[in-house]
Amino acid sequence: MISSSYNLFHSTTGTSTTTLSAILLISLCFFVPSNATETDLLALLSFKSLIGNDPSGALSSWNASLHHCRWPGVICGRRHPDRVTGLALDSFQLAGQISPSLGNLTFLQNLSLSSNHLSGNIPEELGQLSRLRYLNLSTNYIHGSIPSALGNNCSNLEYLKLRNNFLSRSIPPEIGNLQQLQTLSLSVNDLTGTIPPTLGNLTNILFLNLYSNRFTGSIPDILGQLKSLRHFQINDNQISGTVPRSFYNLSNLITLDLSINYFQGFLPPYICDAFQTLETLIIYQNQFTGHIPSSLSNCTTLSTIDVSFNNFTGTIPSTIGSLQQLNFLQVGHNQLEAKTSSDWSFIHALTNCTNLQILEAENNQLQGVIPSSLGNITSLRTLVLSGNPISGSIPAEFEMLTNLISLQLGQTLLSGKIPREIGNLWNLQGLRLSNNMLSGEIPSSFSNLTKMNKLALNNNAFEGHISPSLGNMQSLALLDISNNKLIGEIPREIMNILSLTIVLSLSQNHLNGSIPSEIGKLNNIAQIDLSYNDLSGQVPSTIDGCQLLQILHLEGNSLHGPIPSSLSNLKGLQELDLSSNSFSGKIPSFLSAMKLKRLNISFNDFQGELPKEGVFKNVTAVDVRGNTKLCGGLPDNHLPKCISDSPSQKHHSEYIKIILVCIGGGILCLSIIICIVAGCYWRRRSQNDPHGIMAMTEYKRVSYDDLVRATNNFSVENLIGSGSFGMVYKASMSLGSAEIVAVKVLNLDQHGAFRSFLSECEALKNVRHRNLVKILSVCSSIDHRGNDFKALIFEFMPNGSLETWLHPIARDNRPPKFLTLLQRMNVAIDIAKALDYLHDHKPVPIIHCDLKPSNVLLDDDMTARVGDFGLAQFLVRSDTVSAPSITSTSGIKGSIGYIPPEYGMGGQASTQGDVHSYGILLLEMFTGISPINERFGDGLSLHKHVETAFPARVTDIIDAKLFSSDQENKKTLEIENSRECLVSVIRCGLLCSKESAKERISMNDVVKELNSARNKLLK
């Protein structure tokens, strides 16, 4: 037996353990075990031999100096004192593999090795442990499959915990043989396949945890027989179908977590008939529809309800207020509505829930005024109502919510002033009121909020000065009050908030004065944005105190002087924007040595030679336009060559001056002649205007006064949309056959707006297609204040943008409308035809560069028209190289979520980039999910989300509204042809949105594919 032990060591550990093996053999000569325990001893020594790292020394005393029953972690029995009944070595950071010899510990009842660094497979030999009752290998690096032998032989097993590993393949059906099992925890692995129906045989099961795997299929109906089940967690998988009716018979259930799956259907009214003990109901991020059952009030023990990220409709039932134990209520990201004061009655009912801490109802269709009774739910710690069309003002009664930690009311229609009483919520740590219509001054009482961590008041109409008292908020990590009407200087006290680590954004206000030198005290901040104000002076040299700064935006001000050398000390700076200021001097060489990923110094007064190293190697990452005195750089910078001032060339300067004087007079005369000829030529050939403005003279001239009258002085009532570079108004004026038009007014203060205006004129002046928005005229004039005014006049599209149809929550105070399957097909084909026309346009193909739902408009007969060519680019063939080149006045290449991956890596715009954006748009149209949905992140995208379900579960991922919007549509989807159509459409979307541009199909092929798919539907 000792000899066999040596062979075991030698065969399993190799030469690295020869010395250890020899020592153990010498030890065994002095400690000879009995035959009854020799196998246990050798099994333990084998386990030790496969542990490659024991940082805590837990196994250091495992030697012959102690009886093995006294070794740390080893437990021996009472009736058989020399036999090992337990091995518990949790949380010792042991690294290595589990020895198969543990299968020889025939008396073992408890094996617990959790929270270590063990790897390899689970040995099949563990299936020999017929007495085993507790097996815990959780939180390791174990991979491979679950041994079926565990289910065949370990009939006494009560606890099987294998969670948080790297196990793969499916659950062996044999696990269903473990009828004594009370806990089965397989969560956080990479298990696949369906849930075996044999689990329905686990009649004593209490805890069934299968979350965070890749299970597919549906829940077996037989699991409804597990009467003892108390906790069932299957969240974060790919389970689909409906919840079996038998499941509602689990009368002992305490926790039901089905979140992050693809469940469909309704929550039945009888859901709580049996769930008398249910405390936690979590079903968020699924595809449930219908109303939230009012019968949830029968689950009297409920403390947590999370039904967010579904497609629930109707009102929030007020009966929920009878749940005395309710602690968390999360119903956000649905289509729940409140149109009348009675629909808000659930708020008054919740005042009875004295334990309620979290109320989240964001991104629904709750309208009207927030009930003042909300202030009576004094136990609230988190209140989130963002993304609803709520109007009115913030109730002053909120001052009673003294336990509130987080208040989120962003992206609503709130107006009026912030009640000063909000300053009494001294526990408040997060306040988000961004994207509203709030006005007045920021209350000075905010200085009382000393625990505030994040304050976001951006995109409102706040005015007045920034109160220096905000400097009292010494816990702030984020302060965003951008895009308001604030005036005055930046208080130095703001720069003394040393806790600012995330962002300080004061951009797009009317702040003046200089940047306080105290800015250098923000030594832990990651982003500073002071852009688009009226700041003057120089950048303080103290800015190098911001040692962790990654992003610095100072564009759109009146700053001057050189780039301070102190910027070179910001080793982590990745993005620097100094554009549209009055900076001067030479571009410092230290910028080449910094790790910048983006540098914008355009429209300043820099001079001298442009560096060629560092960030300047990447032409797409650097913008130097508008600096007429720059020279040199890389050829792609298109700057003039620098004239050397070296002594060897100075003797040529006088000669050059004489030549220049001689030819100067000739050039002047020739220029006058050319101007006269060109003027006559341009009047005759206005269609050749490079900016497209003169080409519009064939239309009726439109003046600034005409537009003022037609839009009622650009009133809010006529505002129908806004974009990156301006506002769109509905106007009553006669242009050709049109009586109602859309006027796009450019905000010329916005950087890039004028270039967008030129690009759009250039792109639209010669294109004619039924699926492109038709431009009727332009207005290039001066407003009543003497400022430049640019506007484009288009056909009015009465059905708005595709965005408002796909995501009707954006339709303020209007009943939601949905596109049927056939309508979506027609729109998809219309867009494809428009892109095909642009990509094949003669003589120069056009790349749209910003295709997304908000840039697709629908006319009165629901024909789609592609618009907004503000970022359009032209594909031109070079005379010297065969590859196409891009001409454009804009370096921007699209919107987040639709930008192809190659653009993010500095790639040139291409027709295949448009194809990618179209593919994402197509998937969005038929799934109803935006590519920037919060569910996407950590490697998951809309493309991958769809790809995982294609083609077998294609109907599971399409927009649930196609099933629920109207009876005619339901009937259509019941036909097999509709599934064939959807498979073709989704396949087309996946092909278009492939990561590699070379693998994408052309728009011409897309048109053919979608026409074929529509024909299948119409059969």
SS3 26: helix
By C-alpha distance, which of 271, 281, 331 is closest to 304? Answer: 281
Strand partners, 877: 884
Compute how many other C-beta atoms are within 10 angstroms of the C-beta atom of residue 632: 14
Torsion from C-alpha of 827, 828, 834, 839, nearest 10 degrees: 170
Contact in structure between 255 and 280 (CB atoms under 8 Å): yes
Nearest partner of 509 among 537, 484, 531, judged by Cα: 484
| Cα dihedral 945/946/951/952 (nearest 10) | 50
Alpha helices by DSSP H, listed for 336-474, are 345-350
Residue type, 454: K
DSSP-derived pairing of the beta strands 726-735 and 738-746 = antiparallel
Closest CA to 316 of 295, 345, 287: 345
Indicate the length of the chain as a whole number: 1019
Beta strand 231-233 with 534-537 is unpaired
Strand partners of residue 887: 874
For the record, the structure tokens of 471 come out as 């400097």
As a whole number of angstroms, the distance between CA 869 and CA 773 comes to: 10
Q: What is the dihedral of CA 360, 364, 368, 370, to 10 degrees?
A: 0
How far is the C-alpha of 538 from the C-alpha of 548, rounded, in Å? 21
- 850 catalytic, yes or no? yes
Establish how many alpha carbons lie within 13 A of residue 250's alpha carbon, considering only the half-sphere containing its beta carbon: 29
- DSSP summary character for residue 994: -
> Contact at 8 Å (CB) between 832 and 1001?
no
Q: Give the tokens for residue 816.
A: 């939601």
Cα separation, 107 vs 156, in Å, equals 12
Say if CB 739 and CB 731 are below 8 A apart: no
| Cα–Cα distance measured from residue 761 to residue 494, given in angstroms and rounded to the nearest whole number | 44
Q: If you write DSSP's letter for every residue of 434-472 in order, what string do you get?
A: -SSEEEEPPPGGGGG-TT--EEE--SSEEEEEPPGGGGG
Angle at 791 between CA 785 and CA 794, to 5 degrees: 150
Whole-angstrom CA distances from 535 to 487, 517, 532, 715 are 11, 13, 8, 30
C-alpha span between 422 and 424 (Å, rounded): 5
Among the listed residues 850, 868, 914, 959, the single catalytic one is 850
Give the CA distances from residue 920 to residues 661, 723, 973, 986, in Å, rounded to whole numbers and listed in that order. 60, 20, 23, 10
Cis peptide before 815 (omega within 30 of 0): no
Contacts of 817 (CB under 8 A, 6+ apart): 805, 808, 811
DSSP code of residue 527: E
Exposure string of 39-69, with b = 16+ CB inside 10 Å and e = fewer, is bbbbbbbbbbbbbeebeeebbeebbbeeebb
Tokens read off for 116? 């270590």
Q: Which residues contact 511 (CB under 8 A, 6 or more apart)?
A: 466, 486, 487, 488, 489, 490, 530, 533, 534, 535
CA nearest to 468, candidates 497, 439, 440: 497
Beta bridge mates, 75: 86
Catalytic residues: 850
